[in-house]
Chains A and B, each alone.
Chain A
Amino acid sequence: MNHFFTVEGILYFGAISLSIIGLFGLLVSKNLFRLLLSLVLFEAGANLVLVLSGFIRNGIAPIFLDGNSGAVMNDPVPQALVLTAIVIGVGVQALALSLIFRVKKHYGSMDMRTIRSKLEREIAENAGVTPPGSNEAPAPVKLIEGENS
Chain B
Amino acid sequence: MIWVVTVVVFIMLAAALAVLFLPNMIAAVVASAVVSLCLTVIFAVLKAPDVAMTEAAIGAGLSSLILAIGLKRLGYWKTDSIDKVKAGERHD
- Interface residues of A, Cβ cutoff 8 Å to B: 5-7, 10-11, 13-14, 17-18, 21-22, 24-25, 29, 33-34, 36-38, 40-41, 44, 47-48, 51-52, 54-55, 59-61, 63, 74, 79-80, 82-83, 86-87, 90, 93-94, 97, 100-101, 104, 110
Contacts and interface: CB of A to CB of B under 8 A. Distances in A.
Contact of B16 (A7, A18, A60): A18
Interface string B33-61: 00110010011011111110011001100
A7 B1 contact: yes
B73 A55 contact: no
Interface string B50-90: 11001100110011001101110110100000000000000
Interface of chain B, main secondary structure: helix
A6 B2 contact: yes
Contacts of A90: 58-59, 62-63, 66
Those 6 A-B pairs whose CB atoms lie nearest each other, nearest first: A14-B9, A61-B47, A21-B16, A25-B20, A79-B48, A97-B70
Contacts, number: 122
Nearest to A19: B16
B63 A40 contact: yes
Given A17-B13, A21-B17, A90-B63, 17 more contacts: A7-B45, A18-B13, A21-B13, A24-B20, A37-B28, A37-B29, A40-B32, A41-B35, A44-B35, A48-B39, A51-B43, A51-B46, A51-B48, A61-B47, A74-B48, A79-B50, A97-B69
B54 A83 contact: yes
Contacts of A80: 50
